Structure 1
Amino acid sequence: MENSRRTFLKRAGLGVSAALLSPYLFSCQGSKLGGGPFHDLGIQLYSLRDLITEDPLKTLETIRKIGYTHVETFGVDAEASKFWNLSVPELKKVLDDNGLKTHSGHYDMSKYLSRTQSAKENIEKYIEIAHSLGQSYVVAPVTPMDDINNLSVADYQFAAEQLNKAGELAKTAGLKIGYHNHFWEFRSLPNGTKGLDILIAFTEPSLVDFELDLYWIEKAGYSAQSYFEKYPGRFSMWHLKDMDKKFTTPVVGEKYDKTGFMDIMKEIRYAEVGTGAIDFVNIASYADKAGLKYAFVEQDDIYMPNKFESVKKSFDYVQKFLTK
């Protein structure tokens, strides 16, 4: 979700929101908490990127008052060691002051994973920042984005090797590397396999975990359950993201695999968790088989005027239907 994703993922949302805090948001901490990943629910902060850029303190405070217990970061300025103009120690203090933890962060590795880029992101710096925040996972949020329609078996094998190398570095600090999917990792390659299968097969389970985006696997025409059965224990993180019921056509296959990215994005529309086409209750029953540790609500575009209201709606659904 770093600059590469900002460049390529066309936003269809409402732009910068001046979302007003409704009084009901401040009476939500009564939600029961337990020890499971759906009780202790996180949010990927990219969902509220406009708000957290404008006012990180108020945004994080409101997230906690809604009931979220941890956050997944994005968008670090690694050279300055800052998130949204907050230094890493300042961000850690804000999180601590609000009773929030951060177990995972998205860190741009698109050049690091590319066979064609000579300049690479500073993985050691990412690990240092993640360790300072108390995170357990440094997650690659996206593949190299320069030519996603022509990613090859060799490209995915190289990326897997790089993830393993990063995993070795992370291990010295007590962390692991993660990888987050989109739809193109499910395209069929010449040998009949899929990019995600290559990444899973060629990475060491002790070094690399996977963060399955439930929206994107469904939008690719596959089921999360089938991957949990095929690769048990490899999916320690999930993104809970729902699909508009009017936009359920898969975007993987002969019709789409060479289509321009922006044309494909016209087929994409998200929904608050529990209001769309994805059967989260059934998927949640596979949490143990998947190896789930952390679940995050994420919505790439929010169409409601009040974005806090949107993420509260998703939070409430998870607490009502997915907690055990």
Structure 2
Amino acid sequence: MNGTRRAFLGVAAAGVALTVAGPVAHAAEANGTAAQRRRRIPRSGIGMHLYTMRSALAADFKGTLARLEEIGYATVGVSGRHGNSAAAIRSMLDETHLRAVLEHVGYDTVRSSGLPQALDDIRTLGARWIVVPSLPAAMHTPTGFREAAREFNKAGLAARKAGLGPLLFHNHGADHQVVDGENLYDILLRETDPHLVGFELDVYWAAKGGGSDPQDLFVEHRRRFPVLHVKDMAADGSIADVGSGVLDFAAMFDTAHSGGVKQWLVEHDAPADPFATARNSYTYLANLRY
């Protein structure tokens, strides 16, 4: 584990190789020290990735959006439409004063004849980015990731020609593993065109994967990370509400400006109470100083 990773992982955890390096990041720390931490996340940059809210959306899509807006969220990342068209979701977003910034679209669609329609839907939603949420397990080899890089460049060019931002890739833990001496995520960073391809960095999986540190990535690959998935890690290595776990977000976000971060999207893969997670995580991020 390198020094940068120790800077944003705060406590030892059973089953997860963590080193004690500083205070646990929790809500009381969010205010920071005024002399040292002056930046704050703009309210327009705090969003919710809707995968977190999928059970509530399935029951009441518009009502769920309205409650997110009441909490304070400004933006959402779309992941699953629950039977709604892109136009219907856009209408509900407009009515609830929220803005979609991206939609997750499967890799098979992005590399197929379905891409033009997917890009049209991104525009209908009023969003900027099309995001590939994952790659098939069979592709987790250097050869597979090089193939993905080529496909991402082609799809990213199509997105740019459609007037959108670059195609983004969302990472999971396996994307940071070293296979045959090569870090898979680094292949994507090296072999994609920065104008055509960027990254929606999931900071939990980057930390748990152990091979890619957000602080370093933001500096070494400037402006390639317009969107973050912000989720916290509990002491046992599981996912936690933002601000309740061991990740030191103040340290992590210190170099976010270099990385070009514009959106901080809250995510929790399996929240016990999605609205409690939404409230807790928003409160932490709104009060964070870094």
User: TM-score when scaled to structure 2?
Assistant: 0.81
User: Could you say which residue in structure 2 is the equivalent of 1:234?
Assistant: 224
Query: Structure 2: which 5+ runs fail to align?
Result: 1-38
In the alignment, which of 172, 186, 194 is matched to residue 176 of structure 2?
186
User: Could you say which residue in structure 2 is the equivalent of 1:55?
Assistant: 60
User: Could you say which residue in structure 2 is the equivalent of 1:166?
Assistant: 155
Deviation readout 1:232-282 (Å, 9 max, x if unpaired):
2211111100011122xxxxxxxxxxxxxxxxxxxxx21000110111011
User: Could you say which residue in structure 2 is the equivalent of 1:141?
Assistant: 133
Q: Say which SS state the counterpart of residue 195 (structure 2) adopts.
A: coil
Post-superposition offset of 1:168: 1.1
Q: Say which SS state the counterpart of residue 185 (structure 1) adopts.
A: helix
In the alignment, which of 84, 97, 106 is matched to residue 104 of structure 2?
106
Tell me the distance in 2 between the aligned counterparts of 1:320 and 1:111.
39
Q: Closer, same or farther in 2 for the Cα pair 1:174/1:123, shift >3 Å? A: same
Instruction: Spell out the pairing of 1:230-269 with structure 2 (5 A cutoff).
Output: 230-247=220-237, 269=238
Q: Say which SS state the counterpart of residue 210 (structure 1) adopts.
A: strand
Instruction: Spell out the pairing of 1:270-309 with structure 2 (5 A cutoff).
Output: 270-303=239-272, 306-309=273-276
Answer yes or no: is the 8 Å Cα contact 2:230–2:267 preserved in 1.
yes
Query: Structure 1: which 5+ runs fail to align?
Result: 1-34, 76-82, 114-119, 248-268
User: Could you say which residue in structure 1 is the equivalent of 2:12?
Assistant: none
Q: RMSD of the TM alignment (CA)?
A: 1.8
Answer yes or no: is the 8 Å Cα contact 1:105–1:135 preserved in 2.
yes
Farther-moved stretch of structure 1 (100-109 vs 86-95): 86-95
Q: Say which SS state the counterpart of residue 102 (structure 1) adopts.
A: strand
Answer yes or no: is the 8 Å Cα contact 1:108–1:121 preserved in 2.
no
User: Could you say which residue in structure 1 is the equivalent of 2:27?
Assistant: none
User: Could you say which residue in structure 2 is the equivalent of 1:258?
Assistant: none
Tell me the distance in 1 between the aligned counterparts of 2:67 and 2:108.
32
Instruction: Spell out the pairing of 1:39-78 with structure 2 (5 A cutoff).
Output: 39-40=43-44, 41-75=46-80
Post-superposition offset of 1:37: 4.8
Deviation readout 1:190-227 (Å, 9 max, x if unpaired):
1x221111111111111111011000011012421122
Report the structure, 1 or 2, having the larger helix content. Answer: 2
User: Could you say which residue in structure 2 is the equivalent of 1:202?
Assistant: 191
- The number of residues matched between the two structures is 249
User: Could you say which residue in structure 1 is the equivalent of 2:82?
Assistant: 84
- Higher relative CO (Cα under 8 Å, sequence separation at least 6) belongs to 2
Answer yes or no: is the 8 Å Cα contact 1:235–1:290 preserved in 2.
yes
Tell me the distance in 2 between the aligned counterparts of 1:227 and 1:193.
16
AA aligned opposite 2:283:
D
Answer yes or no: is the 8 Å Cα contact 1:107–1:141 preserved in 2.
yes
Q: Say which SS state the counterpart of residue 286 (structure 1) adopts.
A: helix
AA aligned opposite 1:85:
G
Q: Say which SS state the counterpart of residue 167 (structure 2) adopts.
A: strand
AA aligned opposite 1:74:
S
Answer yes or no: is the 8 Å Cα contact 2:40–2:288 preserved in 1.
no
User: Could you say which residue in structure 2 is the equivalent of 1:313?
Assistant: 280
AA aligned opposite 1:46:
Y
Tell me the distance in 1 between the aligned counterparts of 2:108 and 2:254.
33
Q: Say which SS state the counterpart of residue 43 (structure 2) adopts.
A: coil
AA aligned opposite 1:152:
T
Q: Say which SS state the counterpart of residue 86 (structure 1) adopts.
A: coil
Tell me the distance in 1 between the aligned counterparts of 2:83 and 2:51.
15
AA aligned opposite 1:89:
A
Deviation readout 1:145-165 (Å, 9 max, x if unpaired):
3x36xx221110110000011
Instruction: Spell out the pairing of 1:208-219 with structure 2 (5 A cutoff).
Output: 208-219=197-208
Q: Say which SS state the counterpart of residue 238 (structure 1) adopts.
A: strand
Q: Closer, same or farther in 2 for the Cα pair 1:289/1:212, shift >3 Å? A: same
AA aligned opposite 1:164:
N
Answer yes or no: is the 8 Å Cα contact 2:40–2:287 preserved in 1.
no
1:123 aligns with 2:148: no
Farther-moved stretch of structure 1 (66-75 vs 104-113): 104-113
Farther-moved stretch of structure 1 (95-104 vs 37-46): 37-46
Percentage of matched positions with identical amino acids:
30
Post-superposition offset of 1:42: 0.6
User: Could you say which residue in structure 2 is the equivalent of 1:225?
Assistant: 215
AA aligned opposite 1:309:
A
AA aligned opposite 2:286:
Q
